Structure formats: structure tokens, C-alpha cells
Structure 1
Amino acid sequence: MKKKILMRGLFGLPTGIAIGFVITLIISICIGNGSFYPVTPELIDAAGNELNAVILQTVLCAIMGAGFAAASIIWELDSWSLAKQSGIYFMIISVIMLPIAYFTNWMKHTALGVLSYVAIFVAIFVVVWLSQYLLWKRKIKQMNTLVNKDQ
């Protein structure tokens, strides 16, 4: 299992960087002046210059991707209930994502900014979880139909 976690984490490194890039696109669109911001202006100020900020954000995004991918092993623990898998996976990715989002300034550093980001994060998690649940439910139904046809 340790090897599987490590391999998934390594696969998650570039995936996290790609997700971070998409997040910067979304932030650039939200700023709305037609420019691309590879990092937030606040992160540039905190890091001292744009290059340091991009390097820091890239490393943090890689860590985020590796953490999310490694944590996905939880979905293979058949002895756990779906509720337990979901809750523990959500806690793990929250502990990874929220500090990274805070340090990279993807959220405003106010109570309202943090609460808004958490709400968006929870909403995205719920939508992805529900879509995966319904997809697997449909696949299982199709498999059961095929099994019943053969009998």
C-alpha cells in the first residue's frame, strides 16, 4: 500500500501544478482587466518578486496534487463505510488545500474571504462527490443487469 500511495503522489505532482495553473486562469478572469496573473499580486509582494512567487506557488501546487492523489487510496479501503471514506478524505484534502490557498493568496485574508473560499471548496467537493456516486451507482446497475441476463 505504501508503494501505491507513493506512486499516486508522484503522479499527482504534475496534476497539482496543472490545477494550480487553472486556478490562476480563474483568478485572472475574476480580476477582469484582460491580463494574466500567474500569481496574485499579494503573493508577489510576500515573496519579494514575481519569479519567487511563481516558484513558491508551483511547489505548493505540486504538494497539493501529490497530497490529493495519495489520499485517493482511501477510496480503496473496502472495510470502511462510504461515509467514513468521504469524511476522512475531505478532512485530508482540506488540511492540504486550505493552507495552500491561504498562503498563495487565492482567498482574501479576511474572515469573509476564508469563509467564502471554504464554501466554494465544500460546494465543489459535494458536486464532484455526487457526480462520482451517481456514476458508480449507474455502472453497478449496468453490471447487475448484465449478470442477471447471463443467468
Structure 2
Amino acid sequence: MGLAPRTVELFYDVLSPYSWLGFEILCRYRHLWNIRLQLRPTLIAGIMKDSGNKPPAMVPRKGQYMSKDIALLRQHFQVPIYVPKDFFGDILKKGSVNAMRFLTAVSMEQPEMLEEVSRQLWMRGWSRDEDIADSQSILAVSV
């Protein structure tokens, strides 16, 4: 008889490329690692504001490192993650409030869909360079 699975809560925002990588790795290996993954959509902008922290891209050296790091992590983990062409406009300026509100509603109303809907939003923003702040983009992943 094996050990009961441990619960791992992943607090994430589809604005964050590192959240996506953590999400995919935990989803990929959850059975091997014997974990029960609980997804917790969380608005990272609120955390940054409340803590007085800046997003990594707003700190010059962290921003430079991040673009190189994402390329290496894409190759290593085989996650199709790319920095959007208009990173500052699409990601930092528009943010993810609407997408994260939608994911919170999905987690409350149809939690079995949360993993796939979250993945589709990350794919739109970080793989296909589409605007996740747009209501039509959110509607497209809801089908």
C-alpha cells in the first residue's frame, strides 16, 4: 500500500511565464510524484503592489536575464514559451485582471476545466502572442 498523495497548491497568474513552467512541470509529474495538485488562480499584480515589489521585467538586469532564461527553459522543459513581441504593452500594461477573474470563476463553477482553460490562456499569451486581456480571447478559451 502506497503513501497517500500530498496536496500541492499552485498559486499562479497567467501573466507569469515562470508560473506557466511550474504549472506544466507539476501537471506533467503529479502522478510520478504522487501529488494532488490544487490550482489557485491568484492575481500577481495585487501581490506585487501590496509587497512593494516590481515585476522582474521592470528591473533591467532581471529583464535581460529573463529573456535568456525563458529560451533555455523552453528548450529544457519542452514548453512552447516565447516572450511576446509587445511584452510591455500586452503583458505589463494590460495585465491579467480579466483573465484571472475568469479563471477564478472557472475554479468555482467548473473546477474540472481549470487546468485546460489556464493552459489555453498561457498558450494565447506566451506561445501564440495573442492578447489575453481582450474579452474575445477569454471567450475563445471558454468554449
Relative to the length of structure 1, the TM-score reads 0.30
Q: Which structure has the larger Rg?
A: 1
